[in-house]
Amino acid sequence: MNTPNESAIRAVVLTSSDRCSHGLTRDLSGPAVATFVRERLHGEVVHVEITPDDPTAIAEFLRRWSDPLMAIDLALVTGGTGLGPRDFTPEAAMQVIDRPHPGLMELARARCGADHPRAFLSRGVAGATNSTLILTLPGSPKGAVETLEALLDILPHAVRMLRGSTAPQAHA
C-alpha cells in the first residue's frame, strides 16, 4: 500500500473559456493538461470541468477542490491568464490562494520565454491553499503544456513538500 507521500499526484483541471463553456468551441486545453498530468507527472486526474470566464465560478471551483477532505495535490486552471477583457483567472485564483508562490510562474515564463517571447504576456499565478498547489496556465493547449513542461522538474517535489514530506531527496 502506498503512503500519502508515495502515491500519485491527484489533480483537477478547469478550463476557463466562455466559448468552450457555451459549446461554440471544443476544449483542447483541458484535455491536453489532463494528458500531461497522466503521462508526464504519472498522476491521477480526479475531475475535469469547463466554466465561463467568470471569476466567481473559477474561485468556487478552486475552493471546492482545495478543501483538505478532497485530498487534491494540484489544481490546474487553463485559460483567462492573458490581457483580454474577460481574462480574470489570476484574480480569481488569488481570492483562494493563501500562500502565493510567484517564483513558480516566474520560472515557467523565463524558461518558456526563451523560445516564445509571448510567454511573458501570461499573467499566470501560483500558490498554495491548504495542501493544494494551484497553477493558472495559458489558454492555448501548446502554452498550457509548455508551461507545465517548464515546471516538470519541480512539481513533484513541490507536491511532496505540501504533503508534509521534509525528507531530503537524492539529486540525480
- Spatial CA neighbour of 33 closest among 17, 55, 52, 57: 17
The residue-averaged pLDDT of 132-139 equals 98
pLDDT of residue 143: 96
Domain range annotation of the chain: 10-162
pLDDT of residue 2: 42
Percent of the chain with pLDDT over 90: 90
Which fold would CATH assign to domain 10-162? Molybdenum Cofactor Biosythetic Enzyme; Chain A (3.40.980)
Q: What is the mean pLDDT of the chain?
A: 93
Are the C-beta atoms of 81 and 49 separated by less than 8 Å?
Answer: no
In whole angstroms, what is the distance from residue 66 CA to residue 103 CA? 20
Q: How confident is the model at residue 165 (pLDDT cuts 50, 70, 90)?
A: confident
Q: Where are the alpha helices (DSSP H) in the chain?
A: 18-21, 29-39, 55-65, 89-96, 102-113, 141-151, 155-162
Residue with the bigger pLDDT between 131 and 169: it is 131
pLDDT of residue 4: 46
Using one digit for the tens of pLDDT, what is the confidence trace for 25-73?
999 999 999 999 999 999 999 999 999 999 999 999 999 999 999 999 9
